[in-house]
Structure 1
């Protein structure tokens, strides 16, 4: 799951180039198209995070505040994308800065904490059939959960 989310982050980051260029050229049509592509990449990604990894991490109140702030950022990112699609190019740079910071918080905060905190039971739940794309994640990794991951508390 962490590997899949990280690959999605890389893909999302790679697709910010078109939006940045459109914003610099003051090209509303290109910016709207680039923002729409980002939205298409972000929505399944944030759904997987919120219904999967975040839901498992939320079982410990130690992570609740951090996860709530990440979910709130998902909503702000959606609002910024909508504003850009509506022609407000002043939102391009704030969106790109927020997105970069958000991905950094996940990659260097929550994801490493998940690897330390979540035990085999958590990983098994994350890879149950009702979890979006769980079968594909398990098949891609050749196993249903990381081996040797213990249940420990981690600081973000």
Structure 2
């Protein structure tokens, strides 16, 4: 997590960074299940990871990423990050399907992806976006309600 520029104080970035911590923490159960080759535990750990990862990546893509895509200089970066989301999903499905040796690559790619966002895109967005840009990104971003459940909007 970036801690040098203060971008985590922007509500949407702070939320995404906090979700990154939750996602990384979920790796522990997935790593153990893959190491033990316990199919039931792998399934449960993949379910838990998906429950964190899918709403997170979807929210990034329809909110912050869509807003940044309006600025030409971010288009290639956003395309790359969205492609990484697809790759991570495919790796997770391979793990669910029994390819437990894919775990190490999944963890490596996930951590690298999070680093790109936390230490690259998010600080750049903090500089490039203005108040109305943040309001628009936030308005389009689904999130958690007071009950902790994801809003489908």
- TM-score range, shorter-chain basis? 0.7 to 0.9
Q: Name the count of aligned residue pairs.
A: 135
Which gives a bigger RCO, structure 1 or 2 (Cα 8 Å, sep 6+)? 2
**TM-score, with structure 1 as normaliser:** 0.81
Per-residue CA distance 1:93-145 (angstroms, 9 max, x = gap):
110110000001000000000111101110121233x5313987xxxxxxxxx
Q: Report the secondary structure of 1:132's partner residue.
A: coil
Shift in CA distance, 58/84, structure 1 to aligned 2, threshold 3 Å: same
Matched, 1:52 2:63: yes
Which secondary structure does the structure 2 equivalent of 1:15 belong to?
helix
Report the alpha carbon displacement of residue 87 of structure 1 after superposing the two structures with TM.
1.0
Gaps spanning 5+ residues in structure 1: where?
Answer: 137-156
In structure 2, which of residues 17, 20, 24 is the aligned counterpart of residue 13 of structure 1? 24
Which has more radius of gyration?
Answer: 1
RMSD, matched Cα: 1.6
Alignment partner of 1:131 is 2:136: no
Residue in 1 aligned with 2:89?
78
Where structure 2 has 5 or more consecutive residues not aligned to the other structure, the ranges are: 1-11, 147-153
SS at match of 1:127: helix
Query: So what's the TM-score if we normalise by structure 2?
Result: 0.83
**1:43 equivalent among 47, 54, 69:** 54
